Amino acid sequence: MLLGEKQLIFGSKDARLGSAHMKLVNDLDMDGDVVYFIDSSYERGVNEAIEEHLEALPRGRLFSFNERTNKLDLLLENLYFPNGLQLTPSKDALLINENSMARILKY
């Protein structure tokens, strides 16, 4: 890929998501070919992020996407406005910030 080119690797309305499209994707981390990412809400987009946070309903999800195999996996669902994700230095776990619950989960 040349400098300046962009390429879509996964879209918010991918058919593998069914009817629960991603509306508020906001963080990711990578481990080789695997991209871990958070969708804070399948119901509301960025223009309604404050309302989503205040309503505090479990609409967030954690996914992994393997660029090499093109495989998408739903790892966790029913998260409360997750908006931070970090792979641990040893790469044996993911830390997820659930903003609405004021807590950090380890997966």
Dihedral sign from CA coordinates of 88, 63, 101, 22:
positive
The pLDDT tens digits of the residues spanning 8-59 come to: 877 888 888 877 788 888 899 999 999 999 998 887 777 877 787 778 889 8
**Do residues 84 and 75 touch, judged by C-beta distance below 8 A?**
no
| pLDDT(1) > 60 | no
Confidence of residue 107 (pLDDT cuts 50, 70, 90): very high
Domain of residue 37 covers 18-106
User: Is 60 part of a structural domain of the chain?
Assistant: yes
Q: What is the CA radius of gyration of the chain?
A: 14
Overall number of domains in the chain? 1
Please report, rounded to a whole number, the percentage of residues in the chain having pLDDT higher than 70: 97
User: Is 10 part of a structural domain of the chain?
Assistant: no
User: Is 9 part of a structural domain of the chain?
Assistant: no
pTM of the model: 0.86
User: Is 6 part of a structural domain of the chain?
Assistant: no
31 vs 78: CA distance, rounded Å: 24
